[in-house]
Chains A and B, each alone.
Chain A
Amino acid sequence: MINTREIMETIKMISEEHLDVRTVTMGISLLSCAGSDIDTVCERIYDKITHQAENLVKTAKSIETEFGIPIINKRISVTPAALVCEAIKDSDSFVKVAKALDRAAKTTGVDFIGGFSALVHKGATCGDNLLIDSIPEALASTDKLCASVNVGTTKAGLNMDAVKKMGEVIKKAAELTKDKDGFGCAKLVVFCNAVEDNPFMAGAFHGVGEPDCVINVGVSGPGVVKCALEKVRGADFGTVADTIKNTAFKVTRMGQLVAQEASRRLGVPFGIVDLSLAPTPAVGDSVAYILEEMGLEQCGTHGTTAALALLNDAVKKGGVMATSYVGGLSGAFIPVSEDAGMIAAAKAGVLSLDKLEAMTCVCSVGLDMICIPGDTSAETISAIIADEAAIGMINNKTTAVRVIPAPGKKVGDIVEFGGLLGTGPVMAVNQKSSADFIARGGRIPAPIHSLRN
């Protein structure tokens, strides 16, 4: 029998340190739903999702009860809709597809559905362009739908026409949801090097290299890491790294167990566990607090990037042996509005957009859930995307931008999203224009180190 100390350690992690499984995400291929008649395509999409994911929420809830582990979100990711709907010829029809996906999400009872997506890193097809044009309307007229667009890869370089367009799309999405402070933008991610098996929103989609249906799991646990580090205050960095690795191992083993159980009970193959540290706005569940526990007065000061680099690497090293298949984004997330410590640091003016950009070089993903002034120009947003995508392209990693130009809001104002999406202080952007740079268009060629063959 497992000893008392070990049992009580697990109980404490769950009851006091916010240990949870962030998401069980079912990936569903919609390639079989393709067609040229919009109503037929919508019907096929709705039927396939509601059939495949019929028992997803019920099964996840029973695992929650039996193992006593909270599973915060149940989600669905689908094949990028631009691929499924390539034969459809107008952007109004894409909004119908968005609504069909949203309806399917509501019927199955999941929290989010992702995959209203287009992959345009080298160029856009007619369907890709129509889907991208329809994103603002699609997000404004649905509740659970998430959209993403991949504008670059290390292999292909950056599609700067798409980067330009996404700045405009984000502005329009904010405008169409201005009654909710631009909430539509919280469900839209612009990627470089997007991955095909990501269980996290808003960027989840089911890649074309994936099987018909798959279960991916994203773990969480910033609170557990923070509490573990409290016990080694003042120790050297080797001890800090070891402590994080040990904790990440345990957290990931729990994710692996949940993934295997969900896969077995649903009769769907197990895909990957995403070795992630995903914060929530709850006090004590913050990635920023971990960095501060390492000895920084507040997240955002000098040393933050180094602390995050250590954390991100140790999480992966600890988690990798705990699961049979690693995938997704795997690393620490730094979504500003979803992390109590980041919110406080941004409010205090200690954490700036520039520092966040530096931090994205060493951790999972990118500029995430950042509110910027409502009067930020589309070109400036495009330039923010270009910078972030360049980091991803050159460093061979996934980067993303999810910014919310909150209509009518100015630097220092607060935007309330509620729930997991939290509260965002509006952060300053650089006031000098990038318009002529963005207006050039075309492609930034792939870097020399992409030539690996």
Chain B
Amino acid sequence: MRAIITVVGKDRVGIIAEVSRILSENQVNILDISQTIMQDMFTMIMLVDVSVAKVAFSELSDALDALGKSMGLSIRIQHEDLFHSMHRI
């Protein structure tokens, strides 16, 4: 299963490093990554593959959420199908 991770917040050193650390620790593969500044906010989007992840989706989601809180960012992970179904016919 593929999922989209979104990170939104104030830019700082080490955001990608910290998110990637959690992903690599849990055997989550990064397939695509992009980052931009939208309305003065750092916005990073990652497409990841969680099919061989070591932990359940909910645990991964909790770990990323906790990281986000500790860095003052909003980090979400959501099933890719949500975005496809909303934006593609």
Contact = CB atoms under 8 A, between A and B. Distances in A.
Interface of A: 1-2, 4, 6-11, 15, 62, 65-69, 250, 253-254, 256-257
A11 B76 contact: yes
Interface string B67-89: 00000001011111111111110
A343 B88 CA distance: 37
Contact of A8 (B3, B6, B79, B86): B6
B50 to A, nearest CB: 10
A11 B82 contact: no
Given A15-B74, A67-B79, A7 B38 contact: no
Contacts of B81: 67, 257
A257 B38 contact: no
A4 B47 CA distance: 11
Given A1-B32, A65-B57, A257 B43 contact: no
Interface-centre pick from B43, B82, B87 (highest chain A CB count, 10 A): B82
A7 B57 contact: no
12 contacts: A1-B47, A2-B4, A4-B43, A6-B86, A8-B6, A8-B38, A9-B87, A10-B82, A10-B86, A69-B82, A250-B86, A257-B81
A256 B85 contact: yes
Q: Which 5 A-B pairs have the closest CB atoms?
A: A68-B78, A6-B87, A257-B85, A2-B83, A67-B82
A10 B61 contact: no
Nearest to B78: A68
Nearest to A15: B74
A402 B82 CA distance: 35
A1 B77 CA distance: 15
A69 B61 CA distance: 13
B87 A68 contact: no
A97 to B, nearest CB: 37
Nearest to B31: A1
B58 A65 contact: yes
A9 B43 CA distance: 12
Contacts, number: 63
Contacts of A7: 4, 6, 45, 83
A254 B58 contact: no
Contacts of B74: 15
Contacts of A11: 6, 8, 76
B51 interface: no
Contacts of B83: 2, 6-7, 10
Given A8-B6, A62-B57, 11 more contacts: A7-B4, A9-B87, A10-B82, A10-B86, A65-B57, A68-B76, A68-B82, A69-B82, A256-B85, A257-B81, A257-B82
Interface of B: 3-4, 6, 8, 32, 34, 36, 38, 43, 45, 47, 57-58, 61, 74, 76-88
Nearest to B59: A65
B85 A254 contact: yes
Contacts of B43: 4, 8
B82 A4 contact: no
A275 B14 CA distance: 44
Nearest to B81: A257
A295 B62 CA distance: 43
A253 B85 contact: yes
A254 B86 contact: yes
A7 B35 CA distance: 12
Contacts of B4: 2, 7
B3 to A, nearest CB: 8
Given A8-B6, A8-B38, A66 B87 contact: no
A68 B81 CA distance: 11
A171 to B, nearest CB: 46
B56 to A, nearest CB: 9
B37 to A, nearest CB: 11
B29 to A, nearest CB: 15
B49 to A, nearest CB: 13
B35 to A, nearest CB: 9
Contact of A66 (B34, B57, B85): B57
A9 B88 CA distance: 14
